[in-house]
Chains A and B, each alone.
Chain A
């Protein structure tokens, strides 16, 4: 078992508009992509983000060696309980997941 963040090139999270968050896992190499694509459980991702697995969107993009995950933002951008205006830190949650 390894932490996702230790085996991939980079994990990036960004706003996709004020109401969605998108997290891109750049795996770098095809073999790492295969390992992440097979080993990263969507339900675990949803649970770590306290998000609903039914509304979560996931794209496994072999051409780019990227796994992309999009969810409705846990708090709408800039509302009183939002802590991260640009959604930059959610990448750290995904990086901690064991593969």
Chain B
């Protein structure tokens, strides 16, 4: 049997300290935590930075390192620093060194990196080793060079290689959410379907229980399946909360693709052991003939400057779409006459349909409308120039020629806010490997006193 303790869904999200402490008393074989995902958008992979504050990350990581020392087992984090790019891994390694220096703890650290070289990816593309997943954007050889970061998602094999070094702590770049949890149970011969399924159930911590905020969950793996036990005092796992987690952020609730194969839970059975523990058996792991890893890449998509104007005059609120369309068209023409380069101007009507746009089934403006002007351009300078040209319109543009000049509200001076470089995800493909470690690098270092 292998016990995996998952403190919470992601480092930086927080957890109930009592639940973590209870988890440590259960004598886990490993502590596994996720460090991120793509869910916060392309900025983090584009820049190789973390979404969470360094202070919060350090505070929680220090607690997890202390819990690890008490338990005397490995601590593994996947997708370090939100995006799992090499720079984000280095960022967490740096924090780890700092903590070890402060506590005087001597540690063996394994660092697994997932960053990919654009030239090698272009070569793999030419060789037909990169293929599209459903709804993938069109790519060509140039796409890889355009990316500021490309990562491959490591699976269980790469995490196992890191654990095999005997490291106290494994800091991994991009991995699948599940691989950090399934790696040890698989290495020790637990049921493969159960290992991946239990890993999926545990990947968001206590989200698969009645008390998601308690964070900590324990998954016990064995040769026929797995058992889910929440560590929060009030938290309960039920067949419903556990099976419903297969829906979460998954386009298919029965199939989960992983490096080397896929998990099929169509025939899984969920049984309550008591009022808070659930036993799951019957999930199947289907090995693929080829070993593939998913790729993620983010590239520069331009430079953005935004402005916010507030329209409160009832007549303008009533005609807000007409007003915005008129400004958009006039300002676009003027900027094209006066400036060189590609740009777009968009005005989103906050309070009417800014969230859903054309899909909004019943957009009705209320007392006021916030008009968010978004200028996206090929350079920082151009985006600021166009945004400054937009300013007089947002301040004074009249609905008709024959009326006194109106004035609208701006909450800030200057009205323009630079968003700097913006990025977009541009790869949704898999890369075929001859050997699981082919696209990954592993190094070991000793840190602390």
Within 8 A of A (CB), among B213-264: 240, 243-244, 247-254
15 of the cross-chain contacts (CB-CB < 8 Å) are A16-B249, A17-B428, A19-B133, A20-B134, A50-B359, A76-B137, A80-B374, A80-B376, A80-B422, A80-B424, A83-B348, A83-B354, A86-B39, A93-B356, A96-B361
Chain A interface residue count, CB cutoff 8 Å, equals 40
Pair B359/A49 contact, Cβ less than 8 Å: yes
Tell me whether A64 and B247 are in contact in the complex, defined as CB-CB below 8 angstroms, given that A19-B425, A86-B39 are known contacts. Answer: yes
- Which residues of B pack against A, CB within 8 Å? 38-43, 133-137, 240, 243-244, 247-254, 296, 301-302, 304, 344, 346, 348, 354-362, 374, 376, 422-425, 428
B174 to chain A, nearest CB (A): 13
Chain B residues lying within 8 Å of A64, measured Cβ to Cβ, are 240, 243-244, 247
Pair A18/B425 contact, Cβ less than 8 Å: yes
Tell me whether A63 and B42 are in contact in the complex, defined as CB-CB below 8 angstroms, given that A14-B248, A80-B344 are known contacts. Answer: no
A47 to B296, CA, bound (A): 30
Instruction: Write out, one digit per residue, whether chain A residues 46-87 have a CB within 8 A of any chain B CB (1) or not (0).
Output: 001110000101010101101010101110111111011110
Pair B243/A63 contact, Cβ less than 8 Å: yes
Tell me whether A70 and B251 are in contact in the complex, defined as CB-CB below 8 angstroms, given that A19-B136, A78-B43 are known contacts. Answer: yes
Most chain A beta-carbon contacts within 10 A, residue among B39, B358, B422: B39
Q: Which residue of A lies closest to B247 (CB)?
A: A24
Pair A66/B244 contact, Cβ less than 8 Å: yes
B45 to chain A, nearest CB (A): 10
Pair B42/A78 contact, Cβ less than 8 Å: yes
A51 to B12, CA, bound (A): 35
- Which residues of A pack against B, CB within 8 Å? 14-20, 22, 24, 26, 48-50, 55, 57, 59, 61, 63-64, 66, 68, 70, 72-74, 76-81, 83-86, 89-90, 92-93, 96
Pair B359/A57 contact, Cβ less than 8 Å: no
A79 to B41, CA, bound (A): 9
Chain B residues lying within 8 Å of A81, measured Cβ to Cβ, are 346, 357
B1 to chain A, nearest CB (A): 28
A19 to chain B, nearest CB (A): 4
A31 to B137, CA, bound (A): 41
Pair A20/B251 contact, Cβ less than 8 Å: yes
Chain A residues lying within 8 Å of B244, measured Cβ to Cβ, are 26, 64, 66
B254 to chain A, nearest CB (A): 8
Q: Which residue of B lies closest to A80 (CB)?
A: B376
A86 to chain B, nearest CB (A): 6
14 additional contacts (CB under 8 A) given A22-B247, A48-B359, A72-B134: A16-B250, A18-B38, A19-B133, A48-B361, A49-B359, A74-B359, A76-B137, A78-B43, A79-B424, A83-B357, A90-B356, A92-B355, A92-B361, A96-B362
Pair B361/A78 contact, Cβ less than 8 Å: no
Q: Which residue of A lies closest to B43 (CB)?
A: A78
Chain A residues lying within 8 Å of B133, measured Cβ to Cβ, are 19
Pick the contact of A78: B247, B254, B425 (CB < 8 A).
B425
Pair B252/A79 contact, Cβ less than 8 Å: no
